[in-house]
């Protein structure tokens, strides 16, 4: 399928989009906390993927390659937009999206309160399960910075989402 898409087969690429859209849109939702913006960015990332897919050397690594495209799209978005201005609009957007659960809203709000690069590292670590070195490779940040971002971000999320820790603890002891 990936090899066909690399050769310019649009139907194959459409199938890849269909299979990966949920994952990529969820990833962008965690990055920006805004479902509408997340869908726009996911669309941009897929378009960028279509532009450059012919240069994909290892079709088996399509997933990690697409993630890198997504991270670059997000970093580009951060460079071109005032992150603080966007953060102001998040609450209204969440209210308008019926598919977002309370926990997801709280998580996205907590993530939005982090500095953009800290949030990026946290999402890549917790959502994508990447190691610090892999995150450093994908974001271009030094491994030491990634480590401190994740440590600081985790501590902040722990404070902001303390209510979920308390409610989940009795379940785990059962």
Which residues of this chain interact with other proteins, rule CB under 8 A? 10, 13-14, 17-18, 21-22, 25-26, 30, 39, 42-43, 46-47, 50-51, 99, 101, 103-104, 107, 125-127, 131-133, 143, 147, 154, 157-158, 161, 164-165, 168
Q: Which is nearer to other proteins, 47 or 82 (by Cβ)?
A: 47
Specify the residue, 82 or 118, whose C-beta has the smaller distance to other proteins.
118
From the CB of 159, what's the least distance to other proteins, in Å? 11
What is the smallest separation between the CB atom of 43 and other proteins, expressed in angstroms?
5
Q: Which is nearer to other proteins, 137 or 143 (CB)?
A: 143
SS (H, E, C) 33-45: CCHHHHHHHHHHH
74 and 61 Cβ atoms separated by less than 8 Å: no
How buried is residue 82: exposed, middle or buried, by Cβ count under 10 Å (0-12/13-18/19+)?
A: exposed
Angstrom distances, CA of residue 107 to CA of 38, 47, 76, 85, 114: 15, 28, 23, 19, 11
Query: How many alpha carbons fall within 13 Å on the CB side of residue 78?
Result: 17
- Nearer CB in complex with other proteins: 125/139: 125
Tell the smallest beta-carbon distance from residue 58 to other proteins (Å): 22
> Which tokens hold the place of 121?
């590292």
Q: What is the largest CA-CA distance in the chain?
A: 53
Please state the closest distance from residue 108 (CB atom) to other proteins, in A: 8
Q: Which is nearer to other proteins, 96 or 103 (CB)?
A: 103
């Amino acid at each position: 399928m990936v090899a066909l898409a690399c050769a310019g087969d649009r139907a194959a690429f459409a199938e890849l989009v269909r299979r990966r859209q949920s994952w990529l849109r969820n990833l962008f939702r965690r990055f920006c906390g805004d479902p509408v913006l997340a869908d726009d960015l996911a669309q941009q990332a897929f378009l960028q993927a279509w532009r450059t897919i012919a240069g994909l050397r290892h079709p088996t690594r399509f997933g990690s390659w697409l993630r890198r495209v997504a991270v670059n799209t997000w970093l580009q978005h951060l460079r071109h937009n005032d992150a603080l201005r966007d953060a102001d609009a998040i609450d209204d957007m969440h209210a308008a999206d019926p598919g977002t659960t309370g926990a997801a809203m709280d998580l996205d709000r907590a993530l939005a309160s982090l500095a953009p690069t800290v949030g990026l590292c946290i999402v890549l670590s917790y959502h994508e399960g990447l190691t610090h070195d892999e995150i450093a490779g994908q974001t271009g940040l030094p491994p030491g910075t990634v480590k401190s971002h994740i440590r600081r971000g985790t501590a902040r999320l722990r404070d902001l989402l303390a209510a979920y820790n308390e409610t989940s603890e009795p379940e785990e002891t059962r």
